Copies of this chain bind each other. A is one copy, B any other.
């Protein structure tokens, strides 16, 4: 090895040692153990699929998981076919489809209320480690559910229970109440350049 390469390697090692110290300090400082409230919002792809990925993760650690889908766009999804079959998960496809499909606000509101009642049962059960409320934010956008009531139920849930809420345009009060918030932003999408919703990728 020449001197140049050796110097470069030594600088890399020194930089990585500093980085490791910083990372280790941060890990040591994070010592609370409790359930967290996650919100996946934004106009990009991945809000629901990230929630299902975490559901798989939680199941793998032996947690009981409940999934409530507030907007029933279809019932032939691959995620339900696979994850809905894993012991420890309960999966509810509720809602009536996107509101521009139903064109009936009263039916939409009643469906959202029914989905919320199902969710509430899980939010009161300390045996349930993770509750996924998929596409719930639409219930706030269209005023099918009062946000106050939902946030109060989140606050009163069992201490070790995790909750994930997905959907576009999460309201500010929900973001304020959450522990972890990711905004999934659309940079580009295959659909816009004429690719069909491919099974296994989009549903």
Contacts and interface: CB of A to CB of B under 8 A. Distances in A.
A82 to B, nearest CB: 4
A169 interface: no
Contacts of A199: 61
A56 B33 contact: no
Total identical chains: 2
Interface residues of A, number: 85
B178 A188 contact: yes
A200 B36 contact: no
A31 to B, nearest CB: 6
Interface string A1-43: 0000000010011001101100100110111111110111010
Contact of A49 (B17, B53, B103): B53
A26 B82 contact: no
B200 A130 contact: yes
A50 B186 CA distance: 14
A189 B184 contact: no
A152 interface: no
A120 interface: no
B16 A103 contact: yes
A179 interface: yes
Interface string A57-88: 11111010000000000000111111100100
Interface of A: 9, 12-13, 16-17, 19-20, 23, 26-27, 29-36, 38-40, 42, 44-61, 63, 77-83, 86, 98-105, 129-130, 162, 175, 178-191, 193-201, 203
